[in-house]
Structure 1
């Protein structure tokens, strides 16, 4: 399968999901969004399940690229990020989160749509495994920082950051937070993430 054609189709599917939701994701809709002849998407992805799985793989690849661009580990086997400068780590994470609610907003909406779909269709639940790497990295990072229970703390840290992302994208937090894509928003996110990192690492508030 040509890589450029695969990317064009999955990127189009991401936009369809973001704009129309899971009910709007059809092979015809993806063809139209990609500007390709009708039948192109179904030729590459015979079923809706294979199309959704391809979208999730594409989302994971793009997310890894964002993490790498901000000096963050992109896989479970990547070296753990150091916690010597928590504020710097928080700023890097905040930069990624800000991108995911601004220029990459469609990707985040599509990701949520796929995750919700998996709760109703057991055959799609393998896509949940794409979240394992972030939890592994969080555990390693907190273990290196001296957290008492890094396994549990790592899981909780990722859950809290996921909640922060959702709140800024679709929750009430979007009404009061600084505009997405701005330095003010990145600074605000960095403050929140730094607070979480210190809490789960057990280092206490800044300055203590």
Structure 2
């Protein structure tokens, strides 16, 4: 594993566990077990570090999404895929998801990392939209946005006040409702 990857893994952990204020070159070096100054060799400024972490998270999530993008033949397949993604985002990848949300807010003040965030969201929205269109949703664009909004709400709810909140009933209600809209 390269020093860059070690720095990015450590940065995601720092932000996901301690918040955006923990994201400094010095702290990343220490958390990654790298010599002082290593992170700044890859990311000269804090903005470059924020952008690098956002791009890294977007790439990891792209891989997860592509793995989940199996062809869906039925609404049950769509619900299953979405539930798996949400369980993963709030379970095994909860630290990464917390970091993503924290960095969303950070990036809104510095627009340079926003393209990577928008690209990831667009990819996910298009995937859901296409699945719903194939299954006969009369308004697949609106339905995809509704599922994304509900998914984001479930994620925030599970990462904050209700870690064990059920996912399936809510996803199923909105997904199935999109076919009769």
Same fold (TM over 0.5): yes
Distance (Å, rounded) in 2 between the aligned partners of 1:102 and 1:86: 24
* 1:49 aligned onto 2:38: no
1:110 deviates by: 0.4
After superposition, give the CA deviation of every residue in 1:1-25 in whole Å (9 maximum; x if it has no partner).
Answer: xx63222111110011012211111
Out of 168, 174, 179, the position equivalent to 1:196 is 174
1:64 deviates by: 2.5
Aligned-partner SS, 1:147: coil
- 2:54 touches 2:117 (CA, 8 Å); kept in 1? no
- 1:118 touches 1:127 (CA, 8 Å); kept in 2? no
Cα root mean square deviation, aligned = 2.0
- 1:87 touches 1:190 (CA, 8 Å); kept in 2? no
Unmatched tracts of structure 1, length 5 or more: 74-80, 178-187, 204-208
Aligned counterpart, 1:116: 105
Range 194-203 or range 20-29, more displaced: 194-203
Range 123-132 or range 160-169, more displaced: 123-132
- 2:25 touches 2:39 (CA, 8 Å); kept in 1? yes
* 1:94 aligned onto 2:91: no
Aligned counterpart, 1:13: 11
Distance (Å, rounded) in 2 between the aligned partners of 1:147 and 1:14: 37
1:90 deviates by: 1.5
1:193 deviates by: 1.6
- The within-5 A match list for 1:169-184 is 169-170=159-160, 172-174=161-163, 177=165
Misfit runs of 4+, over 6 Å:
none
- The within-5 A match list for 1:35-74 is 35-69=33-67, 71-72=68-69
- 1:90 touches 1:191 (CA, 8 Å); kept in 2? no
- How many residue pairs match? The answer is 180
